[in-house]
Amino acid sequence: MNSYRSLSLVVSLSLPLGVGCERLAPPPAHEQHDAAPASAAAEPSAGEPAAAATEPAARPAGELAIEPGELPVTSDRYPAPARLVAVGDLHGDIAATRRALRLAGAIDQGDHWIGGELVVVQTGDQLDRGDDEQAILELLAKVQREAAAAGGAVHLLNGNHEFMNALGDLRYVTPGGFADFEDAPGVDTARPELAKIMAQAPEQARARVAAFWPGQPWAKELAKRNTIVVVGDSVFVHGGVTPTWAGQIETINNESRQWLAGERAEPPAAVVDSDGPVWTRRYSDGPDQADCEQLGQALKIIGVQRMVVGHTVHTEGVVSACDERVWMIDVGMANYYGGPVQVLDIQGEQVAVLSESRAIGEDAG
């Protein structure tokens, strides 16, 4: 894994302005499934929706807008709540994020928690493809604190795009995404390895590289999350859990957090494996492509009934496969894709897809 780490953080100076960094190692094969050309991160092609932009909220100089604190992660497994809602990929769109949380019954119009003992799981990919990333990170952290105080919970997972940013792969960052992190406080650019990378980076990418470098401020915020979480009879993950990784959930979570926090030199294998938990598409490519045999083996090892995944965009809406043992909840709700806002509602054995035009509790069909 050392070679991947060293190559992934080399910055190309030949990229157009507004694109930033590109790792020299080839991306995992599965990444190509939804990958756009590098230039698309800065300028969407004709007919493609442009990324939404939001004015970043003002914050005190020298302070992260997210309050510092101990890692809120206390476990890899949690008991089933009365009501559980899963939210898919957000990709830099704060408006879609708010709409999804309101649809879930989690927040009011003032962005305050109203969910009581509701449990929300967001399956990663808050970053990239849109300009509102910092606003999303701040909102989710605030709502997470308010939920805990009210007896509920918000579990935030890291997807492949969170890890890509920590690896220096910034191909999907928008111009606004670079600008939004130019004033990130607490960055230690004196670290020799980071200083070397920043010296090679295009000027407009340097602040972003520094902010998300393992051990730096925003990477430490990502280190407060799991990669995989089990809640009741459901396992939640960005890409999917194959049998190879199904017995290593605690290790995957611990090693990923340690690496993001700067306490581990190399990224864990699970983060960079093309068939790993944040990259695999074995279960998410659609109802006819899901590997039901592998899914069944993984669920048996984990000891749950269903898996909920994001990662692969289904703008037609949430879909399931393998007799509803896997649910694919990345509906492309971000402006970049133009999909619908939908969330997955789990209450006991009942699973429902909630849309903005459908009421809570309506059968998923």
Instruction: Tell me which residues are annotated as active site.
Output: 161
DSSP codes of every residue in 125-164: --SSSSS-HHHHHHHHHHHHHHHHHTT-EEEEB--HHHHH
CB atoms within 10 A of CB 81: 18
Question: 247 near 301, Cβ under 8 Å?
Answer: yes
**Distance from C-alpha of 237 to C-alpha of 121, rounded to nearest angstrom:** 9
CB atoms within 10 A of CB 358: 15
Kindly list the distances between the CA atom of residue 16 and the CA atoms of 13, 148, 298, in Å, as whole numbers in the listed order.
Answer: 8, 44, 43
- The residue type found at 86 is A
SS3 letters across 98-126 = HHHHHHCCCECCCCCECCCCCEEEECCCC
- Per DSSP, 81 falls in state P
DSSP codes of every residue in 264-283: SSS--HHHH-TTSTTT--TT
What residues have CB less than 8 Å from 359, skipping those under 6 apart?
A: none
Q: Say how many CA atoms lie within 13 Å of 179 toward its Cβ.
A: 13
Residues forming a β-bridge with 125: none
Question: 93 near 333, Cβ under 8 Å?
Answer: yes
Nearest CA-CA partner of 325 in 343, 347, 308: 308
What residue has token string 């009741």?
232
